[in-house]
Amino acid sequence: MNVGKVSRSFGGVGRNLADCLSRLGKTPLFLSVMGTDEHSESISRYCRHMDMTGVRQLAGHSTATYCAVITGSGELSLDLGDMDIHQQITEQHVSKFKESLCSAPLVCVDGNVPTATIQYVCQIAKEHQIAVCYEPTDENKASKPFLSDSWRALTYISPNLRELRAINRSLGCPVPAELPARLEDIVRTAMTLTRPLLTQLRCVVVTLGAHGVLLCSRRTEGSISVGPATHQQIAAGELCATHYPAIPISREEIVNVSGAGDSLMAGIIAGLLAGHDTDICVRMGLLSAYLSLRSHEPISQEISTASVNLEQVKARSWPEVKMWKMI
Ligand SMILES: Nc1ncnc2c1ncn2[C@@H]1O[C@H](COP(=O)(O)OP(=O)(O)O)[C@@H](O)[C@H]1O
Ligand SMILES: [Mg+2]
């Protein structure tokens, strides 16, 4: 027997996004499936602050679980996922909520959703001109919308560098074998890898871990815009990359890195939905990510409309932002 500490937390990406957006005062409708097992009861209790009416319970299926063995120094040594139930997030299930989808200001999709369902959501989004954000989830799932023309319906995507490389590979674009470590090199690589996406997407949010985040987008009226814009405005703006350093945090303060990327995106989205400008949106994201890094939960319970808002962003001093033209 190996002796160790065992703890449980609740994911995954889609749930994290809905959790964080709910804490930030939004009312996301979370569409998913779970079993009728004990896990599902715990999840329902844990998610009382969220609208779970779009989560279907299926007898005879196990709620998705993921088990990771982490060494004393925090490295992953073994992991095991039982995620078969994700195949039940079908077009048929999602289509029951078509009216809600069509009236949503934004739809977020994670990489655990089956490719056919992602295609269905993208098709609806295209027909009804709804903004879609794709959270690639991991390197193997990142390419799902890119296996067909679906990706052209995406508005935002939030990959890290590895996921961005996987997406470029599936588009048939050249990719580097090694990913850089120095910030200047990371920015250059990210700019090259986001370029093919920016022919269609509004904004690529490249998450850079301790380095923060790089926003790649077209510049309209002086600042990078992530908010709604007309097609003419999008076509007219020049391509720019803007780097926002992360909020400094010591190793000792970081309790759990999972959920940081989801908190970042939820913070940005909450800012977008409130109509804030780009800098404020990104900083609401960085602040949410910072709070979640300090928490055992993937989404910090400290995240709220009181801790993440325009005033809180303005009350902090922020590291310098740098912008590059993408040539
Ligand atoms: N070691 C760290 N130090 C400071 N901030 C961090 C660190 N790791 C993550 N973050 C913050 O969390 C955000 C998302 O984390 P990241 O690891 O880039 O996302 P993902 O898990 O999706 O790859 C980053 O943009 C940054 O703001
Ligand atoms: Mg991510």
Using pLDDT thresholds of 50, 70 and 90, give the confidence band for residue 226.
low
The response to whether residue 157 sits with its C-beta less than 6 Å from ligand 1 reads no
Q: For a pLDDT cut of 90, what percent of the chain falls above it?
A: 91
Q: How many CB atoms lie within 10 A of CB 112?
A: 23
Taking CA atoms only, the protein residue closest to ligand 1 atom 23 is 160
Residue with tokens 């609208």: 51
Residues less than 5 Å from ion ligand 2, measured at CB: 261
Nearest alpha-carbon partner for 210 in 286, 157, 307: 286
Taking CA atoms only, the protein residue closest to ligand 1 atom 17 is 209
- Minimum-distance ligand 1 atom for the alpha carbon of 285: 27
3-state helix, strand, coil in the chain (%, to 5): 40, 20, 40
Using pLDDT thresholds of 50, 70 and 90, give the confidence band for residue 237.
confident
Taking CA atoms only, the protein residue closest to ligand 1 atom 25 is 212
- Minimum-distance ligand 1 atom for the alpha carbon of 248: 4
Domain segments of the chain as ranges: 26-88, 155-325
- Is omega for the bond preceding 172 within 30 degrees of 0, making it cis? no
Q: For a pLDDT cut of 70, what percent of the chain falls above it?
A: 95
Side-chain half-sphere of 299: how many Cα atoms within 13 Å? 29
3-state secondary structure at position 101: helix
Amino acid in the structure at residue 276: H
The closest ligand to the CA of 319 turns out to be 1
Q: Is the pLDDT of residue 229 over 90?
A: no
The response to whether residue 63 sits with its C-beta less than 6 Å from ligand 1 reads no
- Minimum-distance ligand 1 atom for the alpha carbon of 163: 23
Q: How far is the CA of 262 from the centre of ligand 2 (A)?
A: 6
Average pLDDT over residues 257-262: 96
Contacts of 247 (CB under 8 A, 6+ apart): 286, 287, 289, 290, 316
Average pLDDT over residues 219-245: 72
Q: Is the pLDDT of residue 234 over 60?
A: no
Q: What does the pLDDT look like over 270-281, one tens digit per residue?
A: 999 999 999 999
Q: What does the pLDDT look like over 153-209, one tens digit per residue?
A: 999 999 999 999 999 999 999 999 999 999 999 999 999 999 999 999 999 999 999
Q: Containing H/E element for 220?
A: strand 213-220
Q: Are strands 65-70 and 76-82 parallel, antiparallel or unpaired?
A: antiparallel
Using pLDDT thresholds of 50, 70 and 90, give the confidence band for residue 230.
low
Query: In this predicted structure, what is the pLDDT of residue 221?
Result: 59
Asked whether 297 and 256 are in contact (CB, 8 A), the reply is yes
The response to whether residue 264 sits with its C-beta less than 6 Å from ligand 1 reads yes
Distances in whole angstroms, Cα of residue 172 to Cα of each of 146, 166, 168, 186, 265: 10, 10, 6, 21, 27
Taking CA atoms only, the protein residue closest to ligand 1 atom 3 is 210
Q: How many CB atoms lie within 10 A of CB 192?
A: 16
Q: What is the C-alpha separation between 17 and 322, in angstroms, rounded? A: 27
Q: Choose between 209 and 220: higher pLDDT.
A: 209
The response to whether residue 4 sits with its C-beta less than 6 Å from ligand 1 reads no
| CATH topology classification for 155-325 | UDP-N-acetylmuramoyl-L-alanine:D-glutamate ligase (3.40.1190)
Q: Which of 3-7, 216-220, 300-304 has the highest mean pLDDT?
A: 300-304
Q: What does the pLDDT look like over 62-116, one tens digit per residue?
A: 999 999 998 888 788 999 999 999 999 999 999 999 999 999 999 999 999 999 9
